[in-house]
Every structure is written in structure tokens, then in C-alpha cells.
Structure 1
Amino acid sequence: MVISFIKRITVKPFERKDRHIWYPLQVELDNHDTIEVKRRYSDFLKFSEQLQSIDKTAPKMNKRKSWIKRYSHRQVELETFCKHLVSLPSVMTRSDIYLGFFNLDEKERIQIKLVYDPQNILVLRVYRSVSFDTFKAMIIQRFGLSSISLSNHLVLLAFSPACFFSAITVVSNESQWKQTLQTQWSQLSKVTVRLLSIC
């Protein structure tokens, strides 16, 4: 299956979490999907070295004295680095190193069949790292093309196929979304959910 190309990478303001500094990356793909991944500065340094092992013309980050740079200076450096990443040749952007850094491996995607009613069914393939807000925006936009107006308060109802009794998973916020992706849906490539639009 063809993996989408990256159109744009935006480095968002750094975050402090678990005693570390993380740099969120908003990654826009040519199929209009948007995903977000978070990486530490050390991850970028390692990634740069790995790219250099494939092709010496790849963008390079200066590892020397990196520890004395302020977080804001690092952010500017990362923005420049990411701009170069978008224009790399396909031999690099299709490499396991590149795809792994941005979580673009096909096993990181899941197909979700959304049933609004029997006449209105939507199938979306998304990356498991997509936020619930982004996923909702995709749903609202796609149904809007069919002149179906949905509220911003969407609820997903998923029935567990592994249970002998009727187990329903309710997803209505970011934490429930992440929890479901990481547990019930972690080994699934396809799921079907009932879509509710709460006014």
C-alpha cells in the first residue's frame, strides 16, 4: 500500500513533560491527513545521523555544543531542519528510518468505518497518532460534503467483537480516544463504530 508523502512539517512550541522537553511536530500529508508526533531534541540528533548514513547530502544537525543551546534556539534549528526534510528524495522519504521517525508505517494506520445511519457511512484511514479533535474535524468536513451538518460534539460507539456479551466502548474525548487506540484497537487494522452527533 502506498504511503503518503509529507507536504509540510510545523514545529510547535516545546512542552515540558516527565522532566524532559518535547517538540511537537504537526505533519501534513499529501492525502490531507494531519498527524502529530512528539520528539525530543536528542531524537532529532539521532535521526540526523541515521539520515547521513543513507546519504551524506541529507540535512545535518550540529551535535557539537547542542547542550548549551536554549530551547527557543533549538526550536528555530528544528524548523530549518524540518523544512529540508520535506524536500528529500524518495529514496530517503521511503526509508524505514524516515517513516519510523514520523510514525508513517502502514501498521500505524487504522481503518475506521463510521455509521451515521444506513444511508450515510464513511470510511477513514487514519494514523493512530491523530488527535481526537483532528479526527472529528475530518468527519465533520467529509459529511459536510454530503450536506450533512454535524455538531462538534461527536460520540463514537464501538462494540467489542471479542466479548460474548454486548460490550460497548464510548469515545467522546481525547483520553478515551487514546485509551481505545492503545488497548481495544491496538491489534486491529479495521473497526466499525456508530457515530452520534450530540446537539
Structure 2
Amino acid sequence: MHMLLGLIALLATVGFWVWRLQMAKRGLDVAVDVAKTLARAPRRLAFKYKLGKGGLDLIDDPREAAAIMMMQVALARGGPLTPLQGDIIEAEMREHFQYAPGEAEDLAAHAAWVCQTCPPAQETMTRLGKLIVNASQLGPKEVVDLDAMLVAVSEAEGLPTRAQLALLQVYRDLAGLKT
């Protein structure tokens, strides 16, 4: 009988300590979750800030701006982007941005996606052209190179249309380039 009571007491003691350890583990898990939430707070706040912006306001990389400008020039021909136009845009990005083929394809796809929600082409070219011209990391050579890239895209399917020439002129006026 004493052994039975001792065994029950031992099992009760072990059960009590197992329960206490589980409770401590749950408390530790909650503390880890709180720490992770606090660590992600700056990123979440930055994302919420960006949610207030939209479309072109989110673009701050000159390469991304240039890709969208090339896409706008290509789409100004009227109709959807042709495979030849897409190939030329990607080739220009590989050559001037030193991108791998996959990176150029991804940026071109992103630019096409952004162009679906852009304001009219003239306004888009003006806003992105200002970003390019005022970018501190770009010099005059890069500004002129972008003009050549835009011309190459506009001539992908033959002579540029009036709409394409108008977009080229918007950028040239912003960049101070003579035609």
C-alpha cells in the first residue's frame, strides 16, 4: 500500500513538473513571437507608408524607370507589345544595365505590368524622365544612352510613329538633348 501511494505521489510530482515546463515553453514561444513582430516593425511601417503611394511614386531605381520608359515608347506604337519590341528592350537592358538574360526578362515583365496602371504616356515619361535626369548616380553619358535605348525601341517595328516621336521629344526636352 505504501508503495502504491509512493508511486502515485511520484507520478503526480512528475506530471506537475511536466505541466510547468510546458507552460514555460508556451511563455517562451509567446516571447519569441513578440520579438519577431518587433523586429519586423520597421519593414511593416515602410510598407504601410508605401501603400499610401501608388504606381510611379514607388519607383526610385533609374533602371526600373528606364525599363518603364522603353515599354511606354514600345506601346505608343499602338497595340500590344510585339515579340521584336520585347527582345530589343531586353537586349538594351542586358547591354546597358549588364543584366543577365533572366534579370532583363524579369524587369521587362515588371515594366509591362507597371505600364498597365500608369497615367497617360506623356505624364509617365515626364515623371520618370525627371527621375532619370535628377538621379545622382547617373552622369551625362547614361542620360544620352537612355535616349539611344528609347530610339532603338521606337525603331523596332520600322519608322517611329508620331506618338513614339512625341514621347522621345518629352524625354529629350527634360534631358536637354537636341534633336
RCO comparison, higher one (Cα < 8 Å, 6+)? 2
- TM-score > 0.5, shorter chain as reference: no
Judging by fraction of residues, say which structure has more helix. 2
Q: TM-score, normalised by structure 1?
A: 0.23
Q: TM-score, normalised by structure 2?
A: 0.25
